[in-house]
Amino acid sequence: MTYSLFNNMLKHDSKLLTGRASFVDDVALPKMLHCVFVRSSYPHAVVHGLRTPENLSEAKIFTWRMLSEIVRPFSLSFPFEGCKRLEVSPLADTKVRYVGEPVAAVLAEDLYTAYDVANSVEVEYEPLPPVSDMFSSGATLYEDWENNTMAKFSRKFGDPLHELERAKVVVEERITTHRVAPAPIETRGVVASYDAGRGFLTVWSPNQNPHMHRTVLSEVLNLPESKIRVIAPNIGGGFGQKGHTYAEDVVVAALSMLTGRPVKWIEERRENLTAAAQSREQVHLIKIGADKNGRIKALVDEAYLDLGAYPLIPHSYLELAHVVIDMLPGPYRIENYAAEVSLVATNKTPSGAYRGFGHPEATFVRERALDILAEEIGLDPVTIRKRNLISSADIPCMAATGMIF
């Protein structure tokens, strides 16, 4: 008798191919209000106030001070030594830190009225010098920080510095990975409906981690998880970008709680490219030492990861940093390895998850370093890899970092 674990797999093909799939923008509820965000046009500025249209009978504008009684700021500190404390409000209050940061939310009976009112809101800014790269010695993003490094940590295995001194060949290189925007076909969106009688919140969200999404909403909205239901409809692409809980998710839910009516927000493409998670901007100062035959003796890396304005949750860029460190040696016999990682805040879109979550960056840096080493020694790039790869006879094999191959 032949048995397959996959005979009863749920298949989504039919409804997707026949146009019967349901996405978040297909959700339509009675008496639903539409939300549009007023966003920062500056990467770094003090917010002195908002000037609103005189006739607001068809819409209402909400700022952080109007939401702060029912919404907590995001707590973005992480429980390891040296990580700075950071709390960020879902709507900017006195300062903006990236282009596209939400400053206010507009609610109206129809989407076009909401857009008209949002476009007529004038925000009074006092521009500040922007921090455009991780090595800038100018302004700091947060007043209680002495610099823009949010966290720094290191790992060490063996005696890499000693082995570098003994190595016959040592190459050093500055290797960078550029910032990318995932840009899924379906942008972000959320529909929230609060039942005041039951104290129950229902959220439709194309989130890749609905259970974690519920947990974060519970913490920020001060509601028990048992009073929140997150429904994830079909998702039109996510790539990691939709694995976070964003400011907009919290604000839309809070607006439903305040008004007692369902609220919908669907992101525009321009918003997605400026306000949704970006990823992969890193700089690695790497040293690799080998003997004359190309066998690696030591690997040392000094890495800088661009957080953007702040880390997103869950699946933070701080978690990604640990993945980069652990994966950098890869499937090679490297017993002497050290890495130091600095996570630096800049006036850019917050960094988050993207496909591979640290693996592609680590792989690119390592393999590029091996190519440079092979060229320095005069070996074929394939040959140097074969001489250092974990052999099939050694599998399963635990690398120095604890990764199992």
pLDDT in tens, 196-248: 999 999 999 999 999 999 999 999 999 999 999 999 999 999 999 999 999 99
pLDDT in tens, 342-363: 999 999 999 999 999 999 999 9
Cα separation, 239 vs 207, in Å, equals 11
Cα separation, 305 vs 296, in Å, equals 25
Measured at the CA of 294, the angle between CA 293 and CA 298, to 5 degrees, comes to 125
Locate all alpha helices (DSSP H) within 240-316, ordered by sequence. 247-259, 269-275
Sheet with 189-195: list strands edge to edge: 59-62, 102-108, 33-39, 263-266, 189-195, 200-204, 228-231
Q: If you ran DSSP here, which 8-state letter would residue 356 be given?
A: T
Which whole-number Å values give the CA distances from 41 to 144, 274, 311, 370, in the listed order? 24, 10, 20, 43
pLDDT in tens, 46-95: 999 999 988 788 899 999 999 999 999 999 987 777 799 999 999 999 99
Q: Where residue 155 falls among pLDDT bands split at 50, 70, 90?
A: very high
Q: Where residue 317 falls among pLDDT bands split at 50, 70, 90?
A: confident
The pLDDT mean for the chain works out to 95
Q: Is the peptide bond before 184 cis (omega within 30 degrees of 0)?
A: no
What domains sit in the chain, N to C, each tagged with a CATH number? 149-181+277-394 (3.30.365.10)
pLDDT in tens, 252-296: 999 999 999 999 999 999 999 999 999 999 999 999 999 999 999
